[in-house]
C-alpha cells in the first residue's frame, strides 16, 4: 500500500510541476463512524454492528480560476480505507454480550471530485466538494472459526462460533465541507467534515453453538441445555460521518 502511494505521489508531482499553479496536491487522513454509533436507544440489538473508517488519501485537484475570489476545481486521487465492525457472541438465554468477533474490510478507492472554494481572510478559504468514488475490495473473503469451545465459568457456559465475511467492490458518494488555512507560501492545513453515502460493501454469515450447565434448585442435580443461533447473508451497509485533517500544496 505504501509503495502505491509513493508511486502515485511522484506521478502527481511530475504532472503538476509542468502545469503551473492551477494544481494542488492533498495528503489527508481522518476517522469516520457510522451514525448507528450515535444511537441513544437503551435496548440491545442482537446482531447490531458498528463501524469506523480510517482513510489515507492522496488527492490532486485542478483549479480553473486560481486568481478569483470564488474558484472551481476538478480532481481525483487514491484512498486506502480500513472499515472495522464487530458481531456480538450472545448468551442465548439472558441476552447479554459475552464476546465480540471483530473484523474489517479494506478498500482502495479512486474518486472523481468536483468542488468550489471561496477565499476569506486573505489566502484562507472555505470549500465544498462532491465525490463519486469506486472502491476496490482488497480482500474478498475472511473466515474465522475457532476449533474449540470457549468457556465462561462465571455463568457455566461453553460456546463456539464460526464467521465468514465477504467484501465486494462498490461505488460511494461523498459530500464535504472544509476549511483551508495558510501555513506558509502555497502550503495549507485543510480540515473537513464529510458525509459518505455507502451502499452494501459485502455481507457475512455467523453461527454460535452454546452449552449451559444448570443446577436444579430442588434436587441439586446438574443438567445441560443446548442452543444455537445462525445468521446468514447479513448485509453490511453503513453510511459514514467523517472528520479529516491534512496538508495541501499548490504548484
pLDDT value at residue 147: 78
Q: Read off the pLDDT band of 41 (50, 70, 90).
A: low
Q: Read off the pLDDT band of 3 (50, 70, 90).
A: low
Give yes or no for a contact between 54 and 33, defined as CB atoms under 8 angstroms apart: no
Q: Read off the pLDDT band of 197 (50, 70, 90).
A: very high
Q: Read off the pLDDT band of 186 (50, 70, 90).
A: confident
What are the percentages of helix, strand and coil residues in the chain, rounded to 5? 10, 65, 25
Instruction: List Cα–Cα distances, 249 to 13, 34, 166, in angstroms.
Output: 10, 31, 38
Helix (H) / strand (E) element for 194: namely: strand 187-197
Q: Read off the pLDDT band of 182 (50, 70, 90).
A: very high
Instruction: List Cα–Cα distances, 137 to 57, 77, 167, in angstroms.
Output: 16, 17, 6
Summarize pLDDT for 201-212 with one digit per residue, the tens. Answer: 999 999 999 998
Question: Can you say how many angstroms the Cα of residue 120 is from the centroid of all Cα atoms in its chain?
Answer: 32
Give yes or no for a contact between 226 and 180, defined as CB atoms under 8 angstroms apart: no
pLDDT value at residue 177: 97
The rounded distance, in Å, linking the Cα atoms of 201 and 135 is: 9
Phi, psi of 5 (to 5 degrees): -65, -40
Length of the chain: 251
Among 23-27, 45-49, 102-106, 237-241, name the one with the lowest average pLDDT. Answer: 45-49
Exposure b/e, 89-113, CB count within 10 A at least 16 = b: bbbbeeeeebeebebbbebbbebeb
Q: C-alpha angle with apex 103: 8 to 107, nearest 5 degrees?
A: 20
Beta carbons within 10 angstroms of residue 169's beta carbon:
13
- Chain position carrying cell 489515507: 56
Summarize pLDDT for 103-131 with one digit per residue, the tens. Answer: 899 999 999 999 999 998 778 999 999 99
Averaged pLDDT for residues 164-187:
95
Nearest to 193 by CA among 40, 69, 33: 33
The rounded distance, in Å, linking the Cα atoms of 211 and 225 is: 6
DSSP 45: P
Which grid coordinates belong to 242? 467523517
Q: Read off the pLDDT band of 34 (50, 70, 90).
A: confident
Q: Give the mean pLDDT of the chain.
A: 84
pLDDT value at residue 9: 53
Averaged pLDDT for residues 191-218:
92
The rounded distance, in Å, linking the Cα atoms of 24 and 76 is: 11
pLDDT value at residue 141: 94
Amino acid at each position: 500500500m505504501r509503495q502505491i502511494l509513493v508511486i502515485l505521489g511522484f506521478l502527481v508531482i511530475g504532472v503538476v510541476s509542468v502545469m503551473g499553479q492551477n494544481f494542488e496536491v492533498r495528503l489527508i487522513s481522518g476517522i469516520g463512524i457510522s451514525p448507528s454509533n450515535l444511537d441513544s436507544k437503551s435496548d440491545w440489538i442482537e446482531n447490531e454492528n458498528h463501524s469506523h473508517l480510517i482513510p489515507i488519501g492522496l488527492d490532486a485537484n485542478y483549479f480553473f480560476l486560481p486568481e478569483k475570489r470564488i474558484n472551481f476545481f476538478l480532481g481525483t486521487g487514491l484512498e486506502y480505507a480500513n472499515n472495522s465492525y464487530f458481531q456480538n457472541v450472545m448468551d442465548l438465554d439472558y441476552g447479554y454480550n459475552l464476546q465480540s468477533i471483530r473484523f474489517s474490510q479494506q478498500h482502495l478507492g479512486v474518486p472523481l471530485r468536483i468542488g468550489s472554494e471561496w477565499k476569506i481572510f486573505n489566502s484562507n478559504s472555505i470549500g465544498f466538494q462532491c465525490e463519486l468514488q469506486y472502491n476496490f475490495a482488497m480482500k474478498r473473503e475472511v473466515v474465522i472459526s475457532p476449533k474449540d469451545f470457549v468457556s465462561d465459568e462465571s455463568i457455566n457456559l461453553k460456546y463456539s462460533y464460526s464467521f465468514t465475511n465477504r467484501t465486494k467492490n462498490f461505488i460511494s458518494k461523498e459530500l464535504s465541507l472544509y476549511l483551508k488555512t495558510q501555513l506558509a507560501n502555497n502550503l495549507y492545513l485543510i480540515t473537513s467534515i464529510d458525509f459518505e453515502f455507502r451502499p452494501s460493501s459485502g455481507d457475512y454469515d455467523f453461527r454460535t453453538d452454546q452449552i449451559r450447565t444448570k443446577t436444579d434448585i430442588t434436587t441439586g442435580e446438574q443438567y445441560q441445555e443446548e442452543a444455537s443461533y445462525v445468521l446468514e447473508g447479513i448485509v453490511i451497509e453503513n453510511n459514514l460521518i467523517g472528520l479529516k485533517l491534512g496538508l495541501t500544496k499548490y504548484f
